[in-house]
A and B are shown apart, each in its own frame.
Chain A
Amino acid sequence: MNKHALQVRQICAGYDGSDVLHQITFALKAGEVLAVVGPNGSGKSTLLKALTGLLTLRSGEVEIGGDPLTSLSAAERARRCAVQPQTEAPAFDYTVEQFVLLGSHPHRALLAPSRKSDWRATTKALAEADLISLAQRSVCSLSTGEWQRTLLARAVAQNAPILLLDEPVAHLDPGHRFSVHVLLRRLARDQNRAVLCVSHDLNLAAEFCDRLMILSEGKIRVLGPPEEALSEGVLQEVFHCPSLRVTSNPFTGRPGTVFAP
């Protein structure tokens, strides 16, 4: 497939008069996992807002599935691009299953009842996020990690070719961190979805992504395969941490980071 799922051209965006993002340009192919890392306040969440129309661009252009973002209706945008937002505490007692079923909303007419295919997508997403045993629990009673997996399940059940995730594993235990990354890899490989994942876990990101983007002060500092992108000099400078060292995973040979205090 030569058409890019997501094409970003020289975008600038920000809040209240000052730009947070400067001239960001990149493309995301179908079947590819792109990890976005960077220090706090480097513009990662702002980038996701700009890509999804939550933030108006000062300049530049975002294309989703070949069409400019601004030309898409809200429903069409949701059919093409699913987003897992950062956790926002729920206020009402929906069950986990009712919540994930809402992922089918963009594919349904206003009054259409849920179809068999919607339930199938919901059950599958619940299983993939390891939520089957919690399906009938109220979302208000979940732990932060369980709630985060519920948000991921809804984004997966949305069945969009592009999946954007804002720190999907921030509150998860090591087991679920790993299984979520395995899931993202599988969604890209088996279903040809394009996955962009903002993360602070450099090791898991490097282990599972095809390309890695390091964002610093609103600019792309490095973008490339993890072996090239993770260089000690850049990491130490970007994260202001001279103790950060690059090693390689003895089992897979992929790069990773350790601290040498």
Chain B
Amino acid sequence: MSTALRLILLVTATLILIITAVCYGPTALLDLPRLIELLRLGPITPDLERASLVLWELRLPRILLAAAAGANLALGGLLLQAIFRNPLAEPYLLGLSSGGALGAVLALATGLIAVTWSALAGSLAIAAIVMLLGRRRIAADLPSLLLVGVALGALAQAFTTALILRFDPGALRSILFWLMGSFAGRGWPEVWLLLPAALCGSCLIFLLHRPLDLLALGGEGAHHLGVRVMWLQGGGIALAAILAALTVATCGTIGFVGLMAPHMARKLVGAPHGASIPASVLIGVILTVGSDLAARTILAGTELPVGIVTGALGCVFFLALLRQKR
């Protein structure tokens, strides 16, 4: 099967999943004529009012947010894996997400600045420290640099936990739920923040697909083929930090998607980024929208944090990967 055909199949699967996720939930919108009626803008009949409210104010923003988060996480993972020449790199491992979470919790604790800005500052601070340590070294010792990220992430997590303990019990529960990752209770403002970021990020990264190929295959080789390695590494880490921070600020921390999506994409369409970028984005969308669908339907009447679902999925995925490699 050609790569183009595989990508088309992936697009189809994504669209089917999104439509399913829109239709399915506590308030079923399954009835197709009704759904079409609802999607048409303009005056609606009173009996459709409740369904319309569910669709426009709850379901759609939630699914678009999940899709954007999935795309962002997948893009961050793919970018960092190429930069660090390591298929295990991703925003969580590198501490970018933990930095974002620390920033966000700090903002919630003090109430001094907006959560988004504070999360951005946290992620970018970690990215800056990692880049400063890797400065001036094209064939830099990448595994050590990755470990620096792991260490900084652990530190950020420790601070976050210390901060959380200072909240009163009522706030504590909601903060913990938020930290575990969730798309519930968000609205259009979050969507308008995350969706443009995902679209711009995708375009920007796709523009650089061949330099990323070269970088993934060796820093010195990339330099000799005209890639400005320091710029691409620095810019790439900064972009991954921004995407991770926006995702954490709006949806909390959702693990493993950034690791799973690029892996699956490379398996499906091959390693070259011209194909694996769109495939990663689509698989990221499938993973988050699917996990969210599972999170809000598995237990009737109550909702799981989506991070728990992706965590469980990630565990199964990597055990399967290990089994296959043996």
Chain A interfacial positions (CB closer than 8 Å to B): 52-54, 73-79, 81-83, 85, 88, 90-95, 98-99, 102-103, 105-106, 108, 110-111, 139, 151, 154-155, 158
Q: Closest residue to B210 on the A side, CB-wise? A: A105
Binds A, one of B123-131, B216-224, B240-248: B216-224
Q: Is the CB of B272 within 8 A of A110?
A: no
Pairwise interchain contact B213-A85, C-beta atoms closer than 8 A: no
Taking the closest CB of chain B, its distance from the CB of A136, in whole angstroms, is: 11
Instruction: Find out whether the CB atom of B225 lies under 8 angstroms from the CB atom of A78.
Output: yes
Q: Does B314 contact A (CB under 8 A)?
A: no
**Closest CB of chain A to B81's CB: distance in Å?**
8
What DSSP secondary structure best describes chain A's contact surface? mixed
B186 at the interface (CB under 8 A from A): no
Q: Choose among A73, A88, A102 the residue that contacts B214 (Cβ–Cβ < 8 A).
A: A102
Asked if B138 CB lies within 8 Å of chain A CBs, one says yes
B207 touches A83 (CB 8 A): no
In the bound assembly, the distance between CA atoms of A19 and B68 in angstroms comes to 51
Q: How far, in whole Å, are A111 and B266 apart by their CA atoms in the complex?
A: 20
Q: Is the CB of A54 within 8 A of B138?
A: yes
B227 adjacent to chain A (CB < 8 Å): yes
Residues on B with beta carbons closer than 8 Å to the beta carbon of A95: 270
Nearest B residue to A103 via CB reads: B225
Q: Hey, which chain A residues are within 8 Å of B271, CB to CB?
A: 92-94, 98
CB neighbours (8 Å) of B266 from chain A are 92-93
Closest residue to B138 on the A side, CB-wise?
Answer: A54
Query: In residues 191-238 of chain B, which contact A (Cβ within 8 Å)?
Result: 207-208, 210-211, 213-214, 216-221, 223-228
Q: How many interface residues does B have (CB within 8 Å)?
A: 27
Q: Give 30 A-B contacts (CB < 8 Å), ordered by A residue.
A: A52-B224, A73-B226, A74-B226, A74-B228, A75-B226, A76-B226, A78-B224, A83-B220, A83-B224, A85-B218, A85-B221, A85-B224, A88-B221, A91-B87, A92-B87, A92-B216, A94-B217, A94-B272, A102-B210, A102-B225, A105-B211, A105-B214, A105-B225, A105-B227, A106-B225, A110-B207, A110-B210, A139-B217, A151-B221, A155-B224
Contact status A88-B218, CB under 8 Å: yes
In the complex, residue of chain B having the shortest beta-carbon distance to the beta carbon of A155: B224
Q: Which of B164-210 contact A (CB under 8 A)?
A: 207-208, 210
Determine if A85 and B214 form an interchain contact, defined as CB atoms under 8 angstroms apart.
no
**Min CB distance, B64 to chain A, in Å?**
27
**Contact residues in A for B214 (Cβ distance below 8 Å):** 102, 105
Q: B138 — which chain A residues lie within 8 A by C-beta?
A: 54
Residues of B within 8 A of A83 (CB): 220, 224
Cα A105 to Cα B271 in complex, Å, equals 17
Chain B min CB distance to A97 (Å): 11
B267 to A, closest residue via Cβ: A93
| Contact A79–B226 (Cβ < 8 Å) | yes
A110 to B203, CA, bound (A): 12
A143 to B88, CA, bound (A): 24
A91, A105, A110 pick with most chain B CB within 10 angstroms: A91
